[in-house]
Amino acid sequence: MTAPRIALGAFMLESNAHSPIATRAEFAANYLQYGQDILRDLASDAPSGPKTLSGFWESMNASGPWQPLPLLGAAVSASGPIDHAFFLEVADGFESRLRAAMPVDGVFLSLHGAAIGTGEVDPDGVILERVRRVVGPDIPIIATLDLHANVSRRMVDAASVLVAYRTNPHVDMAERGEESAGLMREILAGTKPTAAYVKLPLIPPSVTQNTKSGPYADIITYGQSKVDARVMNVSVVSGFSLGDTQKNGMSITVTTRNDAALAQSLAKDIARTCWNDRHRYVPKLTTLEESTKLAVACGRDPQKPALLFADVADNPGGGGRGNTVWILEAFHKAGVEGALLGVFYDPTLAAEAHTLGQGGRFKARFNRDETHPLSGRFEAEAEVEGLHHGSIVGRRGISAGHTIMLGPMALLRVGGIRVVVISVRQQCKDTAMFEVFGLDIAAARSVVVKSRGHFRAAFDLLFSDDRIVEVDVPGLTTPVLTRVPYRDVPRPIFPLDPEMSWSP
């Protein structure tokens, strides 16, 4: 096979079951591309597509001749369940474009793995299954998954290899694409992959899933210690706690080089080890009252080390609206000085600021068009200190070197707080989101970020872990799982049913 024909595609959505529906328009504002446009984007200086796809494409280019056959790419960071009509458009698009591209020697898909839909419980499984149906049983299908994927049996059965991220914040996305390219070359040369899968009745709260240290770091390391000449890939997937489906829960997928018994025994062993460690997945949050006191003190005393406050319950990267007002309101009322807050999703407010122009003073009405009750409303005198078109390039962290679409942006000064307002919902995952306005983050006395954890890969040089405060406020992405209105997760499940027992 001199130049294998490899079909490429992407479908990435993390669905918070309690967030508003993910629409076609939302995908189009983030990443929605077809055919050759996908390759043009990959070849650009700052691609807007998934880093896994970039990693796969670059590694395939570097490892020999091949013929990429781009299908379609649809990605949005996190939202609610996907609108069913649009999901059918995506699934039909994959199938018809793949049929037109046949024959193919392999398929690579950048998936997230935690999508749900208004008319389909397992969109990722459906896409993999439909692709499998077109290519037949013998063609390799390799898919990357976010480590927040809620993996289903259907996904494992339809794919040849599932390759999940191993870092949180996700700084290894390009590497996992490269790994997939290596596995694709190997399978094309004759290796037969065999996978085993175990689902655990365990939902670790989002803030307990960091991979620098802690229980999740330990189990990832344990899993990787099993990778050798017989074991192709071990994916220890923490899952997305806010999916609220039968697919929720951590999962272990082990793919071996044609050794089914080994895959089974390893998957069970890793699952058992993980289960035995379940009591370590406990969030440590700080109340809003205490956080406000800390921010006031930082503003008053320049000798104190500056603090970063993470609004973990309103993380757009987990389907949060990116516009809850609770921290802004409390900090403003208490007279906090020298603070930065970002990024606040309010297209109406950003548009108003653009109309007023730089230097405009007005009463800023946050969330006048928002209807979700957890978002709240807030009004205050404000001044427009900066305006930006909102297409920026990530500088450090999970989107470094990639284009981030934020829509029209505005920098508002609200008392002692400077607020960055955006028009396309995104989490605060890059320092560039402040720096495009000329702000010096190092000079701020406190910084509030709407992000659960990905900010850590961008703000790490400015804020060590001991200067990060995870604030306990209401929001769609609260890590306090007893407050999540679960309906559909399988029960019993830990930690909702703390006394339960289980073995793989």
Strands (DSSP E) contained in 165-285 are 193-199, 231-237, 251-257
As a whole number of angstroms, the distance between CA 440 and CA 335 comes to: 21
Which residue's beta carbon is nearest to the bound Zn ion?
A: 148
- Asked if 146 interacts with Zn ion (CB under 5 A), we say yes
Contact between 454 and Zn ion by CB under 5 A: the answer reads no
Nearest residue (CB) to Zn ion, 239 versus 338: 239
Do the beta carbons of residue 433 and residue 345 sit within 8 Å? Answer: no
By C-beta, is 147 or 436 nearer to Zn ion? Answer: 147
CB of 146 to Zn ion, least distance (A): 4
Q: Binders of Zn ion: how many residues, by CB under 5 A?
A: 2
Dist. CA 402–CA 143, nearest whole Å:
21
Closest alpha carbon to 318 in 155, 498, 141, 477: 477
SS3 content of the chain, % helix, strand, coil (to 5): 35, 25, 40
**Which DSSP state fits 398?**
T
Q: How far is the CB of 149 from Zn ion (least distance, A)?
A: 8
* Contacting range for Zn ion; rule: CB under 5 A; set: 2-10, 92-100, 141-149, 192-200: 141-149
Shortest CB 11 distance to Zn ion, Å: 15
One symbol per residue from 51 to 70: x for binding Zn ion (CB under 5 A), - otherwise; what is it? --------------------
Nearer to Zn ion, 148 or 321 (CB): 148
Bridge partners, 143 (sequence order): 109, 162
The least distance separating Zn ion from the CB of residue 290, rounded to whole angstroms, comes to 28
Residue 456 near Zn ion by CB under 5 A = no
For Zn ion, the closer CB: 167 or 291: 167
Rounded CA-CA distance 240/216 in Å is 14
Q: Which residues, 6+ apart, have CB-to-CB distance to 226 below 8 Å? A: 234, 254, 266, 270
Nearer Cβ to Zn ion (120/146): 146
**Could you tell me which residues are beta bridge partners of residue 469?**
309
Using an 8 Å Cβ cutoff, are 165 and 176 in contact?
Answer: yes
Nearer CB in complex with Zn ion: 148/278:
148
Q: Work out how close the CB of 212 gets to Zn ion at its nearest, in angstroms, rounded to a whole number.
A: 15
Question: Interface with Zn ion by CB under 5 A: which range of 46-54, 83-91, 145-153, 320-328?
Answer: 145-153
The type of residue at 59 is S
Residue 167 or residue 256: which is nearer to Zn ion going by CB? Answer: 167
**Is there binding between residue 124 and Zn ion (CB under 5 A)?**
no
Q: Does 148 bind Zn ion (CB under 5 A)?
A: yes
Residue 368 structure tokens: 């006048």
**Contact footprint for Zn ion (CB under 5 A):** 146, 148
